Amino acid sequence: MARIRMVCTHCGSEDVRLDAWAEWDFDNQQWTLGETYDHAHCHKCEGETSIDEIDADAEEAAECQP
């Protein structure tokens, strides 16, 4: 499976978050992720952003090229 990086569209930082909600899983006795939403925040930019998906495997392969 390909690995991806989630980065801020504006600055490229990986310090990004999405709004989400969690639900209590009684059987496992822990909170589980219920849903994620489109609103994204970048902690480096300190504001709202969009998130880009970067193919980490392709990025690493390009770095290895002489």
pLDDT digits (tens, 9 = 90+) for 7-46: 999 999 999 999 999 999 999 999 999 999 999 999 999 9
Three-state SS at 12: coil
Three-state SS at 44: coil
Q: Note the maximum CA span of the chain.
A: 53
Is-above-0.85 flag for pTM?
no
CB-neighbour burial class of residue 10 (10 A; exposed 0-12, middle 13-18, buried 19+): middle
